[in-house]
Amino acid sequence: MAVLWEKKCGGTHYQVRTAGRTHRLYTDGVFHSAFNPRQPVTGDIWDLLALPAFLFSPGQVRRVLLLGVGGGAVIRQLQHFCGAIEVVGVERDPMHLYIAERFFKAAGAGVLLQQDDARTWIKDYSGPPFDLVIDDLFGADKGEPVRAVEADAAWFRVLLRRVSAGGTLAINFGDGAEFERCGYFSDARIRNCFRSAFKTTLPKNENLVGVFARKVVSASRLRRNLLATPEFATALRNKKLCYRIRALI
């Protein structure tokens, strides 16, 4: 793996590394993003964050909010698979936004990148809600990725205010224990806001993604939509994408 670019800024070490045509972002040694434009299915956690868009019929997800841009892998996937959608990406680290634009090309028509603390931005936001809200807010502690905001009931309520009436919330969790402590399980009022909920995992990842939908959706529809998409169908057939999904309701 070659180092394409690196910089130390404010005590933080940023690197963009390449492996073939894949670009990878590392911040203080923590792996934040990977994307190859010729192979948009990554086989990693970013796939799980993009999959909720496929729970619906094509065209139903038009506006997406991404909290925690990193290098922008999820934005690139949504652009590739979902076409002309609007994506708002909120990222606290200005260097991550620079890297996302320069090296991952996560910009262009329909994409608005905002440099701000996600907690402040989402509380102050006064525009229309989003069909899909993705929470990928991670920092680092002693070289290990950790959630930047605890996904407790209070945070769920903040996020829900930005999810449309038929929309979906996807949250990246560091592990199963963190997932089981989240606001969905601790507060019945939060659970009652959703008509479908899932736990999605990959065999090689400790991380998992909770998917919480305000209308009835199904794992079988997700599978059909993925199989109807050539790159996902190939990834499933070749076992590059070995996602697992378990209904919580």
Instruction: Return the pLDDT at 83.
Output: 85
- For the cut 90, the answer to whether the pLDDT of residue 186 exceeds it is yes
- For the cut 90, the answer to whether the pLDDT of residue 137 exceeds it is yes
Q: H/E element holding 16?
A: strand 12-19
CB 94 within 8 A of CB 108: no
- For the cut 90, the answer to whether the pLDDT of residue 52 exceeds it is yes
Instruction: Return the pLDDT at 58.
Output: 81
Nearest to 135 by CA among 79, 94, 183: 183
pLDDT band at 190 (very low <50, low <70, confident <90, very high): very high
3-state secondary structure of 62: coil
> Mind listing the domains of the chain with CATH numbers?
41-247 (3.40.50.150)
* Mean pLDDT value across residues 127-144: 92
- For the cut 90, the answer to whether the pLDDT of residue 84 exceeds it is no
Instruction: Return the pLDDT at 57.
Output: 86
The pLDDT tens digits of the residues spanning 105-116 come to 999 889 999 999
pLDDT band at 32 (very low <50, low <70, confident <90, very high): very high
DSSP notation for 204-245: T-S-EEEEEESS---HHHHHHHHHTSHHHHHHHHTTS---EE
Instruction: Return the pLDDT at 141.
Output: 82
Burial class (CB in 10 A: 0-12, 13-18, 19+), 127: exposed
One-letter amino acid for residue 149 of the chain: V
CB 104 within 8 A of CB 77: no
